[in-house]
Structure 1
Amino acid sequence: MSTLLYEGGAVLTRQLQKARHAPALLVLTQTMPVTMLLFFGYVFGSALAMPGSGYRAFLVPGLLAATAANGLMASLFTAAQDAHRGVTDRFRTLPMSRAAVPLGQTGADLVTTGAALVPLMLVGLAMGWRIETGPAGALGALGVLLLFRFATAWVGTYLGLLSGSEEAAGRLGGVTFLLPMLSSAYLPTEGLPGWLRTVAEWNPISAVATAVRELCGNPVGGAGAGAAPGAAWPTAHPVAGALLWSALLLLVFVPLATRRFARGTGG
């Protein structure tokens, strides 16, 4: 285990150095969630039943959850780029654990995500969002977000290795961009048609967004508190749902990504 952590740490350092030499991409990942918060908060907020600061208090946790879910897209592109340019094959020739490379890549993504959440939370606070439950609630929400980001990063790593090319990753990334739209990240689900509400409430992003709202003491549904009547289990029990979704994704995709890396892109 210590060897795996050491080798994974070396890959993590490599990924962070790579990110440092691509400042434009780093700035984009930092500013995009803030831009979406400003747009949705002030444009959509004026047209909803939860206007102004009420909607923004609902929106900020949703955008935090969407940012966590973006680990899928970010890791997908990173893994596909390394595979397409031969970096993955060079890693495979080294005498190191097959789990070390995906572990280092997902760990580096987790570090950059932690930094990306800071400006989003600061802007949210400036717009009227508040953490009503104190430090314990804030730490709990942060833990849920980072765990979910780590889980989705493994999903993205597997899909990136599976795609094997940047072009295929780009097409697949366009599909994953829609996932937050089919959740409660931006809007309450109780007003959706029956089948669409079911899809949205079983979306893992909905469980994470609702868990963050609950842990921070923010509005959860259109009524302002608590899950809406008839909500699906992950939405009615959001913290447990978010943790179970994250555990399930890790249980499935950690071994899948590790085996795929060991086989190589042509396997």
Structure 2
Amino acid sequence: MTVRCVRLSARNPDALLTSLMLPVMLMLVFVYFFGGAIDTGTAYVTYVVPGVLVLCAGYGAAATAVGVSNDMTGGVIDRFRSLDVGGTSVLAGHVAASAVRNAVATAAVFGAAFAIGFRPDAGAAGWAAAAGVLAAYVLAFSWLSAAVGLLARSPEAASGFTFLVLFLPYPSSAFVPVETMPDWLHGFAEHQPVTPVIEALRGLLLDRPVGSAPWQALAWCGGILAVSVVASAALFRRRTA
């Protein structure tokens, strides 16, 4: 199932190219168009890269919703069921393919970031911890996207989830410090799942104190993952009953 989903992604070069280029283009826009006007206490490229990584991961994970919806509306699920392929295998294949796509997109973001001056100070342990937090985020939101794909009645409806995931990093610490936002926005920006993930990545990659951010990030990801897996299983049974 994973190989099948990766091949399907490769057969859609437009979507694949967008998932690779959009985060890189957004990073270049923020660094070169807005970075000079934003004071973060450090080089803006250093500040913004962790946020772009999360935006990239969310965008790649959200594509899972469209893939699952295509399967549910295209008739291929009936063929899988006749071959005694369970719903868990089908959905897990989409999630694993999402992880592969995100690994490629993350490498592209890092490559562009290094080219424009990003210089992380993390040691081996910091890199490993950052990779673990990012992988947990991808896994959680990929399963959430799978559930959305099962809820949606068409691939076009499922694609709307991409907008939500792309929007989440903006009211967070991804591109500007939360303290610079209006007071009424602070509560949401500080207590949504994206912010601790970004703060954990920023601290780990730059070898700075991270406080409780990694544990908060993993708690958010674990909660989203648990709910999404259970919901996906129930929704798949309902759609194929």
Q: Distance in 2 between matches of 1:174 and 1:30?
A: 16
Q: Distance in 1 between matches of 2:11 and 2:158?
A: 22
Bigger shift: 172-181 or 132-141? 172-181
Change (3 A) 1:68 1:46: same
Which of the residues 13, 20, 24 maps onto 1:34? 24
Q: Distance in 1 between matches of 2:209 and 2:125?
A: 19
Which of the residues 174, 178, 182 maps onto 1:193? 182
Superposed displacement of residue 72, structure 1? 4.3
- For residues 106-141 of structure 1, the C-alpha deviation after alignment (integer angstroms, 9 at most, x for no partner) is 011101111111111011112221221222211211
Do the aligned residues in 1 keep the contact of 2:19 with 2:60 (CA within 8 Å)? no
Q: Percent identity?
A: 32
Structure 2, unaligned stretches of length 5 or more? none
Which of the residues 78, 93, 97 maps onto 1:104? 93
Superposed displacement of residue 180, structure 1? 1.6
RMSD across aligned C-alpha pairs, in angstroms? Answer: 2.0
The count of aligned residue pairs is 241
The 3-state SS of whatever aligns with 1:185 is coil
The residue aligned with 1:158 is 147
Bigger shift: 104-113 or 13-22? 13-22
Change (3 A) 1:69 1:172: closer
The residue aligned with 2:234 is 259
Residues 1:171 and 2:146 aligned together:
no
Q: Distance in 1 between matches of 2:90 and 2:195?
A: 30
Letter in 1 for 2:109: L
The residue aligned with 1:86 is 75
The 3-state SS of whatever aligns with 1:264 is helix
The residue aligned with 1:122 is 111
Normalized against structure 1, the TM-score is what? 0.83
Residues 1:12 and 2:2 aligned together:
yes
Structure 1, unaligned stretches of length 5 or more? 1-10, 219-224, 228-235
Q: Distance in 1 between matches of 2:237 and 2:80?
A: 10
Superposed displacement of residue 54, structure 1? 1.0
The residue aligned with 1:243 is 218
Do the aligned residues in 2 keep the contact of 1:78 with 1:160 (CA within 8 Å)? yes
Q: Distance in 2 between matches of 1:262 and 1:93?
A: 15
Do the aligned residues in 1 keep the contact of 2:40 with 2:177 (CA within 8 Å)? no
- For residues 169-190 of structure 1, the C-alpha deviation after alignment (integer angstroms, 9 at most, x for no partner) is 2334333332121221111101
